[in-house]
Amino acid sequence: MNLRSFLYKNSTQIMVWFIIVILFVWVLFPLIWTFLSTFKQPLEVYDTSSFLPKEWSLSNYHEVVSDDNFFRFFINSLFITTVSTILAIVCSVLGGYAFARYAFRFRHILLLILLVPRIIPRASLTVPLYMGFAELGLLNSYTALIISYTATAVPMGVWIMSGFFKGVPKALEEAAIVDGARPWQLMWYVLIPITLPGILTVSIFSIREGWNEFPFVLTLTTSTEMRTLPYQLYMLSDSMGIQNWPLVNTFSLMTIIPILIVYLMFEKKVVNGIVSGSVK
């Protein structure tokens, strides 16, 4: 087989791989470029002679981690994300089950109330929420952030869980009830294990929301100690004058790594759920 006929026969796959390589570079290039700079010295980024760092020094990572504030912001992010995710899961499981299994009055109106918020832009909610939380004296509190993050995660969560509960055969539930299972046992031992992929999907959505959220934390908090990681990153990269780019980039990368780890752990189970959850 000569080259020409080989190229002709595989022209589709050659084209496909050509596009995939572009996709690969397009997605990863900004990340890789940032990653390489985290090993460089502050002035080394101005040196155009080499793209790779002169030595793979971890000093930037050391500097970021040894800053007490980083730990504080990390804990803030972790705490707010965890609590709002747990709340979102509880709400989504209960609400999703109600929509999947019951016919009741106002079902349609309640469903509408749940679906419409998906088109409310977050940044525009900052004004009324700021004023509302100010009246309640909740500015600069975990409570305000947790409440708002949970609220933005719940609509999608209920929707996803409702889809997963609909997929559970009714006979299975009836069998459990015949066997004498109480409602909470039915939920805990039967329904939750079956719908675990759904719960994981809701979690990823909510974790992504909480970990990356910016407009709410920007407007609802003013004191330094309440900042989350994205807020601090914004403050770092917004500072005037000469940037210490390697340090900023290291900080940036360290905010990305935890969520990437979570994602990679559940990726297989989650990717399809994420898509189907948003499409339905």
Partner 1 sequence: MDFSYKQLKKKSVPYVLLIPSMLFVIGVLGYGVIYGVVISLFEVNVYSLETPFVGLKNYIYIFQDPTFLNSLYKSLIFVFMSVVVGIILSLVFAIALYKLTIMKSFFKGLTLIPYLISGIAAATMFKFLFAGDVGMVNQFLSVFGMEEVLWLADEWLALFVIILANIWFVTPFAILILLAGLQGIDEQIFEAAKIDGASKLRIVFQIIIPLISSMIGVSLIWLSFASFNMFDIILPLTGGGPGRSTEVLAVYLYKLAFNDLNYSMASAVMIVIMTLNLAVSFVYLKVFKV
Based on the number of CB atoms within 10 Å of its own CB, is 81 exposed (0-12), middle (13-18) or buried (19 or more)? buried
* 272 binds partner 1 per the rule CB under 8 A: yes
Based on the number of CB atoms within 10 Å of its own CB, is 184 exposed (0-12), middle (13-18) or buried (19 or more)? exposed
Got the DSSP string for 82-123?
HHHHHHHHHHHHHHHHHHHH---TTHHHHHHHHHGGGGS-HH
* 167 binds partner 1 per the rule CB under 8 A: no
Number of helices (H) and strands (E), helices first, in the chain? 14, 0
* 128 binds partner 1 per the rule CB under 8 A: yes
* 177 binds partner 1 per the rule CB under 8 A: no
* 174 binds partner 1 per the rule CB under 8 A: no
Distance CA 257, CA 78 (A): 13
* 279 binds partner 1 per the rule CB under 8 A: yes
227 phi-psi bin (left φ>0, alpha ψ -120 to 50, beta other): beta
Piece of 56-64, 113-121, 166-174, 193-201 that binds partner 1 (CB under 8 A): 113-121
Piece of 52-60, 67-75, 105-113, 189-197 that binds partner 1 (CB under 8 A): 105-113
Binding to partner 1 (CB under 8 A): which residues in 143-162? 147-148, 150-152, 154-155, 157-158
* 269 binds partner 1 per the rule CB under 8 A: no
* 245 binds partner 1 per the rule CB under 8 A: yes
Piece of 62-70, 117-125, 172-180, 195-203 that binds partner 1 (CB under 8 A): 117-125
**Reduced to 3 states, what is the DSSP secondary structure of residue 127?**
helix
Residue 4 vs 268, nearer CB to partner 1: 268
Ranges assigned E (strand) in 76-223? none
Residue 128 vs 193, nearer CB to partner 1: 128
Piece of 56-64, 103-111, 172-180, 194-202 that binds partner 1 (CB under 8 A): 103-111
Provide, rounded to whole angstroms, the least separation between the CB of residue 95 and partner 1. 4
Which position among 57, 126, 140, 185 is part of the footprint of partner 1 (CB under 8 A)?
Answer: 126
Distance CA 26, CA 24 (A): 6
* 14 binds partner 1 per the rule CB under 8 A: no
Binding mask 39-78 for partner 1 (x = CB under 8 A): ------xx-x------------------------------
Which position among 58, 172, 175, 271 is part of the footprint of partner 1 (CB under 8 A)?
Answer: 271
Instruction: Evaluate whether 222 touches 139 at the Cβ level (below 8 Å).
Output: yes
Residue recorded with tokens 């290039």: 29
Piece of 55-63, 66-74, 166-174, 229-237 that binds partner 1 (CB under 8 A): 229-237
Contacts of 227 (CB under 8 A, 6+ apart): 73, 76, 217, 221, 235
